Amino acid sequence: MSRYWLGLGANLGDRRAAIEAALAALAREGRVEAVSALYETAPRELEDQPAFLNAAARLATALEPPAMLAAAKRIERGLGREPGGVRFGPRPLDCDLLLWDGGEWRGPGLEIPHPRLHERRFALLPLLDLDPGLALPDGRRVADLAAAIDPAAQPAERLAGPLRAPEGGEV
């Protein structure tokens, strides 16, 4: 079994429902062990778009990284994301492989850890909810990476209220 830390985000339609539907779909690929709180975050790169809801999930599965990527893309398409589109633009769902307990992976269309994870507060904060002591394969701690990003430059508001996790997952 492999363990993945995935980032989930949405800024179109019912954002919470999209993330909850993605969690349910992930549960069909393995066991969702834990789910972070929801964070409302300002868009980055392309700023003229609605705010995002972001979360993270830890998934245990038999899938190897290329198959896990294919599952993530299938989940995105199933929830309305069209291939292509504007880079960093609005989307009904984004499902990114952020970390893998196997360390690093480099292959066509996939790099783990996610190559921009260290600069994305909206991805780092939910990961801390899951595993406060989590570190990248190179030893950098997720907590230190998050602390190095100015909160004013990348605002993220932790939302009250539980996020529904699939059966057996923690929130």
CATH of the domain at 107: 3.30.70.560
Q: Does residue 171 lie within any of the structural domains?
A: no
DSSP 102: T
Q: Does residue 166 lie within any of the structural domains?
A: no
Residue 65 · residue 105 · CB < 8 Å: yes
Per the structure, the complete domain to which residue 84 belongs is given by: 2-158
Number of domains the chain is built from: 1
Q: What is the distance of C-alpha 139 from the center of its chain?
A: 20
Q: Does residue 14 lie within any of the structural domains?
A: yes
**Tokens in use for 126?**
């939910």
Residue 76 · residue 95 · CB < 8 Å: yes
Annotated catalytic residue within 14, 28, 77, 96? 96
Q: Does residue 168 lie within any of the structural domains?
A: no
Strand runs (DSSP E) across 27-101, as ranges? Answer: 31-35, 39-41, 52-61, 94-100
Q: Does residue 47 lie within any of the structural domains?
A: yes
Q: Does residue 105 lie within any of the structural domains?
A: yes
Element (H, E) at 110: strand 110-112
Is residue 150 among the annotated active site residues? no
Q: Does residue 164 lie within any of the structural domains?
A: no
DSSP 162: P
Q: How many beta carbons lie within 10 A of that of residue 75, not counting itself?
A: 22
**Tokens in use for 136?**
């990248």
Is residue 94 among the annotated active site residues? yes
Our CA angle for 42, 133, 35, nearest 5°, is: 55
Annotated catalytic residue within 91, 120, 121, 129? 91
Is residue 91 among the annotated active site residues? yes
Residue 91 · residue 11 · CB < 8 Å: yes
Q: Does residue 135 lie within any of the structural domains?
A: yes
Annotated catalytic residue within 3, 28, 31, 81? 81
Annotated catalytic residue within 3, 44, 77, 94? 94
pLDDT in tens, the chain (171 residues): 999 999 999 999 999 999 999 999 999 999 999 999 999 998 887 677 899 999 999 999 999 999 999 999 999 898 887 777 666 667 889 999 999 999 999 998 899 999 999 999 999 999 999 999 999 999 999 999 999 999 999 999 999 766 766 664 444
